[in-house]
């Protein structure tokens, strides 16, 4: 007759917790698409969403680059960190602060002067 053990023999392998959502969500991407026509009227001709590549650092995920007409380098960057959306000036690294949505962040970029940049940084 077979004996049953009362104790289970198992090894529990702990997995590290997943970092908070860092990439742009589907809703964020729709907000960017809705904003593109308004951006074009204000002199921004390219809105490029960069998706994470396998060689990127693990804490990097998708983000938006906003380009002024005729410029080779982006003027603004927008990304998501958890429930916050971050926007920053790519030339100076100046943060505009956390926002509740991509729409709010993009609206801040359209403000007459969202960041007081030195004259040398603007030209």
> What domain range is 55 assigned to?
26-113
Query: What is the CA angle 48-53-55, rounded to 5?
Result: 140
Predicted confidence at residue 42, as pLDDT, reads 86
Predicted confidence at residue 7, as pLDDT, reads 65
Q: Is residue 119 part of a domain?
A: no
Q: Is residue 93 part of a domain?
A: yes
Predicted confidence at residue 123, as pLDDT, reads 41
Distances (CA, A) of 86 to 10, 24, 54, 65: 44, 11, 23, 12
Name the pTM for this structure: 0.69
Number of compact structural domains in the chain = 1
Q: Is residue 92 part of a domain?
A: yes
Q: Is residue 68 part of a domain?
A: yes
User: What are residue 89's DSSP bridge partners?
Assistant: 76
Q: Is residue 1 part of a domain?
A: no
Q: Is residue 108 part of a domain?
A: yes
Predicted confidence at residue 39, as pLDDT, reads 87
Predicted confidence at residue 119, as pLDDT, reads 40
Per run of 10 residues, the mean pLDDT along the chain (length 123 residues) is: 65 72 83 89 90 78 90 91 88 88 87 50 43
**What phi and psi values does residue 17 have, to the nearest 5 degrees?**
-65, 145
Q: Is residue 43 part of a domain?
A: yes
Q: Is residue 12 part of a domain?
A: no
Predicted confidence at residue 78, as pLDDT, reads 93
């Amino acid at each position: 007759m077979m004996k049953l053990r009362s104790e289970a023999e198992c090894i529990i392998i702990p997995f590290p917790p997943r970092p908070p959502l860092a990439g742009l969500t589907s809703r964020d991407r729709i907000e960017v698409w809705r904003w593109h026509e308004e951006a074009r009227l204000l002199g921004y001709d390219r809105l490029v969403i960069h998706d994470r590549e396998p060689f990127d650092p693990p804490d990097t995920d998708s983000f938006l680059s906003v380009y002024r007409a005729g410029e080779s380098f982006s003027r603004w960057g927008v990304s998501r960190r958890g429930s916050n959306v971050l926007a920053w000036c790519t030339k100076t690294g100046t943060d505009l602060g956390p926002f509740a949505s991509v729409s709010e962040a993009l609206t801040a970029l359209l403000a007459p002067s969202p960041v007081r940049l030195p004259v040398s940084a603007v030209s």
